[in-house]
Amino acid sequence: MTHKKSAMPDINPWYNIPLEDYERHMSHYMVGQAALLNRLTKKYLDEIKPVTAIFLGISGGNGLEHIDNSITKTVYGIDINPEYLNTANKRYGDSIGSLRLLNLDIVKHSETICQADFIWAALILEYTGVDKVLEFSNNNLHKDGHLVVSIQSNNSQQTVTNTGIETIKKAGELFSLVDPENLLSKAAENGYRLIANEENILPGRKSIKSFHFMPVS
């Protein structure tokens, strides 16, 4: 089921990037982010075993095939582009009966939706900023919940890898690298402790750095 809030498609470049183009870019052999994020989604679902999970920037639902309905009873997928959510619903709406897809821009809307055991924020802070994701998490994460954040490190490579897909370049208008030290500092200020982190190197020499937080008891 998809709930939609009013949006202004002429403002945010993500409204003008077709999901097919985005997924082709993420799966390109020089990018490799789709496969990595899929593996990380499975890893964290297996480790955390959340009853309620929120996926920020769900796009077409990459990784949702790893949801175990006997463990995770409610799944929220949030994205700014309603067409992405429509595709996610077509792909997973039947297999995940609890799937709730919300058309939200968390830069503007950080209200409480639920108290989740797991919030997965993969490659979204570059477009929303650290503060907005932490604000959303403060309002929607259970006191014993898990916040996992993944950010991109360019390692001296260009921000948007040239895969020949022109529309994806529009994302560069919003993209801003996240400083890991700033992320850790702001997370601590917001009452989170780091319990694990990892770095995965991508084919084009960029990397994805993942940080696993829990609220301070």
The answer to whether residues 144 and 172 touch, using CB atoms and an 8 Å cutoff, is no
The CA angle 178-167-91, to the nearest 5 degrees, is 85
Residue-wise pLDDT for 14-72, tens only, equals 888 888 988 888 877 777 788 999 999 999 999 999 999 999 999 999 999 999 999 99
For 46, the token pair is 């297996």
d(CA 125, CA 196): 18
Q: pLDDT band at 79, cuts 50/70/90?
A: very high
Q: What is the pLDDT of residues 169-198, one digit of tens each?
A: 777 777 889 999 999 999 999 999 999 999
pLDDT grade, residue 5 (50/70/90)?
very low
Supply the DSSP symbol for 178: P
DSSP state of 177: P
Domains identified in the chain, total number: 1
Q: 162: domain range?
A: 2-215
Which CATH number does the domain housing residue 109 bear? 3.40.50.150
Q: Which residue has the higher pLDDT, 6 or 39?
A: 39
Q: What's the chain's average pLDDT?
A: 89
- Least confident range from 4-8, 67-71, 198-202: namely 4-8
- d(C-alpha 176, C-alpha 128), whole Å: 9
The string of DSSP letters for 20-84 reads HHHHHHHHSTTT-HHHHHHHHHHHHHHHH--SEEEEET-TTTTTGGG--TTT--EEEEEES-HHH
Global confidence as pTM: 0.89
